[in-house]
Amino acid sequence: MKASRTAQQGRRAAARSERGRAEQARVSEGGLGARGHAAAIMRVALDHMRGVPEERIHHPKRSNHMSVQWHEVLDDGEQLAVEASIADKSSIVCRVGLLLLGGGAGSWRVRDSMNSVAQVLGVTCTANVGLTAIECTCFDASGAFSEVVNIPAPAINTERIWYMAKFVNEVSVLGKEFSVNEFHGLMDGIEHRPLSYAPWRISLVVAFACAAFVLLLGGGVLETVCAFFASGLGCATRKIMTDRRITHFGCIGMSVAVACLVYLGCLSAASLFIPDAMEHEAGYIGGLLFIVPGFPLITSGLDIAKLDMRSGIERMFYALSAMIVAAMVAWLIATLVHLHPDDFAPSGLGPIQQAGLRAVMSFIGVYGFSFLFNSPRSIALTAAVVGAISNVVRLTLVDYTFVTPEMGALLGATMAGLLASAIGSRTSFPRISITVPSIVIMVPGLYMYRAVYCMGAFQVLQATEWIVRASMILMFLPMGIALARMLTDSEWRHCS
């Protein structure tokens, strides 16, 4: 009986397979219209699935953001790009913008580069740039072609921005001699270029940067050591989760949780030898600085200054969302273990010694965060020098003059922007790759954490005060960069 049932099931499966092959043959011969084609495919699928247990049905995995196979959608890749179809020209222009967007560039730089390439190709380009998407339409005498392209998630790669700037400059000179395939071949090399630093090296350098930040705030040896291990392991956790394509804010929340728990674990271990170790909780926030989204935070202000409201608002909300997630996770863990955001003890250093310490720590901090943005060493060193100068001037003005921390943020960011413009005019370094790392260390992470802590404790007045102070500094930082850009870049200064 069992053998008979097995034979009967085999005959049914063979019949279903035969019907499927017959339907596919009819479709391939072109005997069906569009509606018949869809119906035939549906019948094949239903026949294949009928009687099959759910656990045996294979559901293929696919990406929610399907990548574009640029070389497969071309009309004629061997043709000169200036003589190509409007669709092939549009693919080149859109990909230029997409690579810059994937490197973290603001909408003005993205659109400016797209326009430069479009001008070489003899087309007019209109582009609407957001945080992760570009809507582009290209026009020429033959007609118009529209495309929408996007990236899966915000990313920062200053090396890519640098190479794309070189690519655009080369296209401006030699672009009329390139074929369509040569354009895409050059962009293939930029897109698939591996990161400059191994994950362990990035985590190590970021750990030194966050430890330097704690010393800048006035932390002692114990707070600095705990922040070092906390930030290093937190950064490594985020990298591991990102490589496994875990959802973006999940990576942020988990990496912050790991950093917080490691900091607390280090304090607990130190308490076995140092009786008052648990009182050194003020450096808790220093281990979380690696999570601050400096690039979208600064570029949002620059985009709004150029009236690119879509990109500016999207970047601002993304940056705020990332900081809120980080602050809420940090507050939750701190509340569970009864930590309080206390002030650091006075360092007792004189003005000259304190300025020297701040210069060294600012240099280390900015240099480390440049690694986080995949900056080449030459750019990282330049940004570190700019950050050391501007941050020491900012802190000195706040400590010894009438300048408030909010005014100091504006002055410090403006000085960083001016120095970056002066250096950028003599090198090929993009300004944004220098200015953003140099002022990330000015972001008021301690203020934001205190605001969230007071909110959780229902201390409304104190929470409001910290929110206002943090918000003013966060607004003044991009304002300072925009002011420096207006003073030094005539093209950026004017509306176009």
> pLDDT tens digits, residue range 91-120?
999 999 999 999 999 899 999 999 999 999
According to the model, what pLDDT value does residue 35 have? 43
According to the model, what pLDDT value does residue 32 have? 40
Distance of CA 26 to the CA centre of its chain: 50
Query: Which of 168-172, 296-300, 446-450, 484-488 is least confident?
Result: 446-450
Give the mean pLDDT of 334-358.
75
**CA–CA distance, 352 with 219 (Å, rounded to integer):** 18
According to the model, what pLDDT value does residue 61 have? 56
Binned at pLDDT 50, 70 and 90, residue 364 comes out as very high
Q: Rounding to the nearest 10 degrees, give the CA dihedral for residues 213, 218, 224, 230.
A: -60
According to the model, what pLDDT value does residue 167 have? 94
21 versus 267: the higher-pLDDT residue is 267
Give the mean pLDDT of 440-453.
79
Pairing of strands 133-140, 124-129: antiparallel
Instruction: State yes or no: pLDDT of 39 exceeds 60.
Output: no
Report the mean per-residue pLDDT for the chain. Answer: 82
Q: What DSSP state is assigned to residue 78?
A: T
Q: Rounding to the nearest 10 degrees, give the CA dihedral for residues 410, 412, 415, 419.
A: -130
**CA–CA distance, 90 with 469 (Å, rounded to integer):** 46
Instruction: State yes or no: pLDDT of 13 exceeds 50.
Output: no
For residue 244, the number of C-alpha atoms closer than 13 Å in the C-beta half-sphere is 9
Instruction: State yes or no: pLDDT of 212 exceeds 60.
Output: yes
According to the model, what pLDDT value does residue 36 have? 47
Instruction: State yes or no: pLDDT of 237 exceeds 50.
Output: yes
Tell me the backbone φ, ψ of residue 357, rounded to 5 degrees: -60, -45
According to the model, what pLDDT value does residue 349 have? 72
According to the model, what pLDDT value does residue 494 have? 76
List the one residue out of 365, 439, 360, 326 whose CA is nearest residue 205: 365
Contact 384, 363 (CB under 8 A): yes
Query: Which of 5-14, 86-95, 242-251, 305-314 is least confident?
Result: 5-14
CB contact set of 402 (below 8 Å; sequence gap of 6+): none
According to the model, what pLDDT value does residue 295 have? 85
Instruction: State yes or no: pLDDT of 257 exceeds 60.
Output: yes
Instruction: State yes or no: pLDDT of 218 exceeds 80.
Output: no
**Range list of β-strands (E), 113-223:** 124-129, 133-140, 143-150
372 versus 55: the higher-pLDDT residue is 372
| pTM of the complete model | 0.81
260 versus 449: the higher-pLDDT residue is 260
Give the mean pLDDT of 291-295.
85
Question: Is residue 7 classed exposed, middle or buried when 0-12, 13-18 and 19+ CB atoms within 10 A define those classes?
Answer: exposed
Question: Is residue 402 classed exposed, middle or buried when 0-12, 13-18 and 19+ CB atoms within 10 A define those classes?
Answer: exposed
Instruction: State yes or no: pLDDT of 388 exceeds 50.
Output: yes
According to the model, what pLDDT value does residue 342 have? 65
**CA–CA distance, 369 with 212 (Å, rounded to integer):** 11
Contact 425, 403 (CB under 8 A): no
